[in-house]
Amino acid sequence: MGRALRLGGQTFGPDELVVMAIVNRTPDSFFDRGATYHPDDALRAVERAVAEGARIVDIGGVKAGPGAEVDATEEIRRTVATIAAVRAEFPEVVISIDTWRAVVAVEAVAAGADLLNDAWAGADPALAQVAAETGAGLVCSHAGGLAPRTRPHRPAFDDVVADTLDTVTGLAERAVDLGVRPDGILIDPAHDFGKNTRHSLELTRRLDRLAATGWPVLVALSNKDFVGETLDLPVDQRLEGTLAATAVSAWLGARVFRAHQVRQTRRVLDMVASIRGDRPPAVSRRGLA
């Protein structure tokens, strides 16, 4: 049995499957190409995501891949005011800041963020200390030893799942030692980060190994390159592949799902939960008339 997850004012039980909506305050995101870069567009995207079933919104100010330099001051400018606006308009939603920088995290939590989503595996070791000092949650991820915003080149692992397990559990244990709340920690295999497509597929098929640690597992699968390469599809045609990976990951024990398309993801997760026996059908008429 996994542990309950407490983020902000929300507690998510071990059987709950939770959608984390992606809201990028960037002009160059790989999927939305800047659709939510303007502050008003970002706020309306949050409104849509919440209406479609997101319980967490993940706000980021720097695209994950290489591109124009974005320093900490600019990252703060892009994200902190939006976090404050979301907190004011949607007091119940859990707000995540997608950053690897401790200095950004400090400002984000002060504005209302509940979770520090570090996709770069503790590149700034002070980030976990911010979580400890503020009571925020923390995502502990695996990036294959890469520095932020760098792409893998011929990554190699004796066993990618074992390497991922060692990294994320080590980061989680370090966080607890620093004083981060155990019920606010998630682990993330970080598909594509420091990995090739075969690595990401293997992590997906063996995701139950991560779930067996007891730490809540977050997966960020949405429209990623491993989906595109597996099906040989461009970024705007990867929804079905993303949802297939989402269903498999949910069945194998993932609990939080970072997604661009919230409504479709929520429906897939509801179907998985019902097949698993954790959610009754919304209606039940067949054979009863």
**Domains of the chain (ranges, CATH numbers):** 15-276 (3.20.20.20)
Distance of CA 164 to the CA centre of its chain: 16
Query: Among residues 224, 218, 161, which one has the least CA distance to residue 197?
Result: 224
Alpha carbon distance 219, 251 (integer Å) = 13
Contact between 100 and 120 under an 8 Å Cβ cutoff? The reply is yes
Alpha carbon distance 200, 28 (integer Å) = 24
Q: What is the pTM of this model?
A: 0.96
Q: Which residues contact 155 (CB under 8 A, 6 or more apart)?
A: 144, 194, 195, 196, 199
Q: What is the pLDDT of residue 1?
A: 59
Run of H or E including 219: strand 218-220
**DSSP labels for 93-143?**
SEEEEE-S-HHHHHHHHHHT--EEE-TTTTSSTHHHHHHHHH--EEEEE--
Distance of CA 18 to the CA centre of its chain: 10
- Can you give the pLDDT of all 289 residues of the chain as single tens digits? 578 999 999 999 999 999 999 999 999 888 887 889 999 999 999 999 999 999 999 999 999 999 889 999 999 999 999 999 999 999 999 999 999 999 999 999 999 999 999 999 999 999 999 999 999 999 999 999 999 999 999 999 999 999 999 999 999 999 999 999 999 999 999 999 999 999 999 999 999 999 999 999 999 999 999 999 999 999 999 999 999 999 999 999 999 999 999 999 999 999 999 999 999 999 999 999 7
Three-state SS at 56: strand
Strand-strand pairing, 18-24 and 5-7:
unpaired
Residues 229, 232, 237: CA angle, nearest 5 degrees: 100
Alpha carbon distance 7, 55 (integer Å) = 10
Q: What is the pLDDT of residue 29?
A: 84
φ and ψ at residue 10, rounded to 5 degrees:
-110, 145
